[in-house]
């Protein structure tokens, strides 16, 4: 009987050990890795809202230019500042032009002097030509010798050559005067087109070199917008179509724009076409460089 109870205890102990071993194995078993989150990237293409297309881009103008110094010199005068509205040819500033002006005046004086010299030689030649005509008649009447006639003729030829030499000198002086006037014009810094001064880079007294930037002038109108569309819109948007333009800061204010150009070529790298549109007046508070949104319904 005692042996029977011992065997029963051994069986119960073995069963308990097996249960614990299974529990530990389940506890030590590595769990399956958690799934990685899926990240999606939005494509940079126009969105479609209620059968309409919305695209964005900056407002631009045709002309924006850095006005550079055409010669070296010291800034002697500035006529405008940042934000000034200017017309084409309006003076923006000047370089010290005293030496250039003196050179121009000297060239002008030389031209005037040579013009008088040419006139004097022309009149001198006319006098000698009259003497030659009289000498030829006297020669025909046998009143003078052939030597006297030839002497008069040679004087006429010499004066003609001298007149031509002065004429050549006069032309050279006129070219020098043009060069001096061009150099003087380079000291005047003027607006290349109507617009606004976006930046001023120099002050009075600054020494500038040729090619150094002085002002940044930009047009204010007409305002244009360039954007791209997927190639599926080829044939659905045309030159002359009207669009609606808004800006981020005032989305409730709507402006009209007309398509100027639809590129006939598809960019093979992006599969898009480029579209250019012009914003119609009134422009209100629209400025070049603003980010704008254009919307339309393709046909």
Complete DSSP assignment for 68-127? E-SS-EEEEEE---TT-EE-TT-EEEEE--HHHHHHHHHHHHHHHHHHHHHHHHHHHHHH
- Distance from C-alpha of 49 to C-alpha of 66, rounded to nearest angstrom: 41
- Counting residues of the chain whose pLDDT is more than 70, the rounded percentage is 83
- Domain of 67, CATH number, reads 2.40.50.100
> Could you give the number of structural domains in the chain?
3
Query: Is 90 exceeded by the pLDDT of residue 191?
Result: yes
In which order are the strands placed within the sheet that holds 64-68? Answer: 64-68, 213-218, 195-200, 85-86
What distance in Å separates the CA atoms of residue 209 and residue 298, rounded to the nearest whole number? 53
Q: Are residues 179 and 53 in the same domain?
A: no
Going by C-beta distance under 8 Å and a sequence separation of 6 or more, which residues neighbour residue 65?
192, 193, 216, 217, 218
The torsion angles phi and psi of 217, rounded to 5 degrees, stand at -115, 135
Residues 211 and 73 in one domain: yes
Residue 18 lies in a domain: no
Using the predicted structure, report yes or no on whether residue 42 has a pLDDT greater than 80. Answer: no
pLDDT confidence of residue 129: 95
Instruction: Specify the pTM.
Output: 0.66
Q: Are 118 and 231 members of one domain? A: no
Domain boundary among 196, 220, 244: 220
> Does the pLDDT of residue 152 top 90, yes or no?
yes
Could you report the per-residue pLDDT of 51-72, keeping only the tens digit for each? 578 888 889 998 999 999 999 9
pLDDT at site 114: 97
User: In whole angstroms, how far apart are CA 92 and each of 103, 191, 207, 209, 229?
Assistant: 24, 7, 16, 17, 41
Q: Select, from the ranges 33-42, 192-201, 248-257, 285-294, the one with the highest average predicted confidence (pLDDT).
A: 192-201
- Mean pLDDT score, 152-161: 95
Question: Does residue 152 share a domain with residue 103?
Answer: yes
**Which of the listed residues 203, 220, 237 is the one where a domain comes to its end?**
220
Q: How far is Cα 299 from Cα 288, in angstroms, rounded to an integer?
A: 29
Residue 23 lies in a domain: no
* 91 shares its domain with 191: yes
Map residue 201 onto helix, strand or coil: coil
Report pLDDT digits (tens) over 116-137: 999 999 999 999 999 999 999 9
Of 112, 13, 59, nearest to 280 (Cα)?
A: 59
Residue 248's domain is classified under what CATH number?
Answer: 2.40.30.170
- Do 167 and 292 sit in the same domain of this protein? no
Per-residue pLDDT reduced to its tens digit, 200-238: 999 999 999 999 999 999 998 899 999 888 988 888 889
78 assigned to some structural domain: yes
Asked if 292 and 55 touch (Cβ cutoff 8 Å), the reply is no
Q: Where are the beta strands (DSSP E) in 126-271?
A: 188-190, 195-200, 207-208, 213-218, 224-230, 242-247, 250-262
Are residues 54 and 157 located together in one domain of the fold?
no
Q: Which of the four pLDDT bands, split at 50, 70 and 90, describes residue 250? A: confident
**pLDDT value of position 275:** 92
pLDDT above 70 (res 44): no
Could you tell me if 69 and 215 lie in one domain? yes
CA angle, residues 14, 19, 20, in degrees to nearest 5 = 100
Identify whether residues 112 and 250 lie together within a single domain.
no
**Token reading at 278:** 């012009």
Residue 193: inside a domain: yes
DSSP 207: E
Residue 267, in any domain of the structure: yes
Q: Are residues 68 and 215 in the same domain?
A: yes
pLDDT value for 57? 85
What average pLDDT does range 261-268 have in this prediction?
92
**Same domain for 85 and 214:** yes
In a domain, 28, yes or no: no
- What is the token pair recorded at 257? 């724009």
Using the predicted structure, report yes or no on whether residue 21 has a pLDDT greater than 70: no
Q: What is the mean pLDDT of residues 45-52?
A: 52
Q: Over range 66-86, report the average pLDDT.
A: 96
Are residues 199 and 89 located together in one domain of the fold?
A: yes
Q: What is the DSSP letter of 280?
A: P
Structural domain boundaries, residue 215: 63-95+187-220
Of 136, 167, 186, which marks where a domain is finished? 186
> Which has more pLDDT, 90 or 284?
90
Query: What pLDDT score was predicted for residue 47?
Result: 54
Residue 226 · residue 275 · CB < 8 Å = yes
Residue given tokens 């360039």 in the structure block? 226
Confidence of residue 36 (pLDDT cuts 50, 70, 90): very low
Mean predicted lDDT score pLDDT of the chain: 84
The answer to whether residue 115 sits within a structural domain is: yes
Strand 52-60 relative to strand 73-78: parallel, antiparallel, unpaired?
unpaired
Indicate the range of 17-26, 115-124, 290-299 predicted with least confidence: 17-26
Tell me, yes or no, whether 274 lies in a domain.
yes
């Amino acid at each position: 009987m005692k042996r029977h109870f011992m065997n029963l205890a051994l069986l119960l102990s073995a069963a308990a050990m097996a249960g614990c071993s299974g529990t530990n194995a389940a506890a030590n078993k590595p769990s399956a890795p958690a799934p990685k989150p899926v990240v999606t990237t939005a494509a940079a293409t126009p969105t479609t809202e209620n059968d309409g297309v919305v695209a964005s881009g900056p407002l631009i103008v045709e002309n924006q230019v850095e006005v550079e110094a055409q010669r070296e010199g010291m800034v002697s005068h500035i006529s405008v500042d940042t934000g000034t509205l200017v017309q084409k040819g309006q003076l923006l500033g000047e370089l010290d032009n005293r030496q250039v002006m003196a050179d121009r005046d000297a060239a002008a004086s030389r031209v005037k002097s040579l013009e008088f010299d040419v006139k004097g030689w022309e009149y001198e030649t006319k006098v000698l030509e009259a003497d030659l005509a009289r000498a030829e008649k006297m020669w025909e009447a046998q009143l003078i010798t052939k030597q006297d006639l030839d002497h008069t003729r040679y004087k006429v030829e010499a004066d003609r050559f001298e007149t031509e030499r002065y004429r050549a000198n006069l032309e050279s002086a006129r070219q020098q005067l043009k060069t001096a006037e061009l150099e003087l014009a380079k000291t005047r810094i003027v607006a290349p087109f109507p617009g606004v001064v976006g930046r001023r880079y120099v002050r009075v007294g600054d020494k500038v070199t040729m090619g150094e930037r002085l002002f940044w002038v930009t047009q204010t109108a007409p305002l244009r917008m360039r954007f791209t569309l997927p190639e599926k819109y080829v044939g659905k948007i045309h030159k002359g179509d009207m669009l609606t333009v808004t800006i981020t800061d005032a989305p409730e204010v709507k402006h009209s724009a007309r398509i100027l150009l639809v590129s006939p070529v598809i960019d093979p790298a992006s599969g898009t076409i480029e579209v250019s549109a012009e914003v119609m007046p009134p422009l209100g508070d629209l400025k070049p460089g603003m980010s704008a949104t254009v919307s339309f319904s393709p046909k």
